[in-house]
Amino acid sequence: MSTDFVLSRLLDKPSAPIQLTEPVAVSGLPTPALVLERSILQKNIDSMRDFLAAKGKGFRPHSKTHKCPIIAKLQMEAGAVGVCAAKLSEAVALINSGLTEILITSPIVSKSKLEILNKVLPIGSDHDINIVLDSMIGLEGLLECLDADKVIGVLVDLDISMARTGLRSDEDLMRLLEKIQKTDRIKFKGIQHYAGYLMHLDNYGKRKEKSLNAWQTLEDKFLILERSGFSCEIVTGGGTGSYDIDVHVERLTDLQVGSYIFMDEEYRSIPTQTESRFTEFTPSLTVACTAISQPKQGMITVDGGYKAFASDSVNPVCDEIEGVDFHFAGDEHGVLVLGDSDTSIRIGDVVRFVTPHCDPTVNLHDFYWILEEDNLIHSCWPIVGRGCSW
C-alpha cells in the first residue's frame, strides 16, 4: 500500500546529529548551504520562553518552521509545553524520534492518513499527542480508524475570518463536543485559534487591534462551552508576529510561535511596538552562496536561486556587506547589485544571506550546517521533515 511505503520511508530517515570528521569553515561548504548558528538559535529559544513565562503563558513552538527533531527537543528542554506539527508526516518524524508532546494543527480527514496516525499512536493514554478537529467528518473518521486501545486528545479549531480551517457555527461546535463526550478514546483538550493573515501586517497598531478583536469575538463560544460543562485545558494559537500581543488574552494558555528561532526578512520588515523593523530576535539562519561569475561590472552572480531560497514577497538580504542587493536570476542563480560595494565581493567568495521566508526555505535543504562559537562547523542536523507534505 502507498501509505505503508511513505510511512516506512519516513521512519527510516536518520534524525541524530552527524559529526564531521574535521571542522570546516563556512567558506569551505558546498554551496548553497543552509547555515544555522547554534548560540543565536539557543538565545532566541530562551528569549521567547522567558518573555512568555513572565506573562504567565507557555510556548508550543511550531515544528513546520524547522522540520528537525533535534531543534524540537531543544525547545522542549527549554520548557516548551509541547510542539506543533502542521502535517501528519511532520508529527510522525517527531514521534519516531521519541517526542510525545505534539499537537497536529491541521485537520486530518482521509482514511489513509488516519490509519497512519493510528499506527504511530502509542497504546493507552501515556502520551500527549493531540490533533485538531473542525468537522463531524473528521471526528467520525478518527473514531473509525482509532484502535480500541488507543487514546488521543483533540482540540476544536475555531475560525473567525481567515476561512482556511476551523468552524464558526455554535451548533456544529456543540454537536462535535457532545459526540466526543460519548467516547473514552477521544479526550477534549481545548480550543485552537490561529489568525495567520495577521502575522505580517505592516502596522503594529492594526495588528494588535485585529488580533485582540479576533480573540474577543471567540468569547461567546467560550461562554457556551462553560455553560455546557466543557473545560478547556488548552487554549492555543498566535504566532511570532503576535507573540507580544496575544499574551494579553487571558484565556490563552500558550502560543504557537515558529519563525522566532530563525527570523527571516519577511518578519524583519514588519514594525514592532517601538521599532520600524522587527529586531527583537536575531537571525540565526542564513544561506551561504558562492560568487561564481561577473559578466557585468557592478554586479556579480551567486549560485543560489529559487532552489536555495523560498520567497513570497521579499528577496534574501546580505547583512554582512552593506549596500548589496540580491535579485533572483532563475532557479540556480542570484545576482548581487553591488552599488558602492563594488570591491567587496570577488569571484569565489562565499556570502551569507538571511532567508526571505524561513519555513519553505528550510524545506529546500537536506540538513543544517551547525556553526559553533569558534566560527567553525562541527556537525550537521538532518531536516527529517523535509518534503513531508502529507
The predicted-structure confidence for 155-168, as pLDDT tens digits, reads as follows 999 998 778 999 99
- pLDDT value at 343 more than 70: no
- Distance (Å, rounded) from C-alpha 148 to C-alpha 185? 7
CATH 3.20.20.10 in the chain is located at: 38-268
Pairing state of beta strands 18-24 and 377-382?
A: antiparallel
| pLDDT computed for residue 239 by the predictor | 96
Question: What pTM was computed for the model?
Answer: 0.96
Burial of 30 (0-12, 13-18, 19+ CB in 10 A): exposed
The dihedral through the CA atoms of 287, 293, 299, 301 has a sign that is negative
Q: What is the mean pLDDT of residues 328-355?
A: 90
CATH 2.40.37.20 in the chain is located at: 12-35+283-382
- The verdict on whether omega for the bond into residue 32 sits within 30 degrees of 0, i.e. cis, is yes
| pLDDT computed for residue 1 by the predictor | 61
Listed in sequence order, the residues at least 6 apart from 105 whose beta carbon sits closer than 8 Å to its beta carbon are 62, 84, 85, 86, 132, 157, 192, 194, 256
Fold of 12-35+283-382: Lyase, Ornithine Decarboxylase; Chain A, domain 1 (2.40.37)
Q: Please state the CATH superfamily assignment of the domain spanning residues 38-268 in this structure.
A: Alanine racemase (3.20.20.10)
| pLDDT computed for residue 74 by the predictor | 98
State the pLDDT confidence band at 223, using cuts at 50, 70 and 90: very high
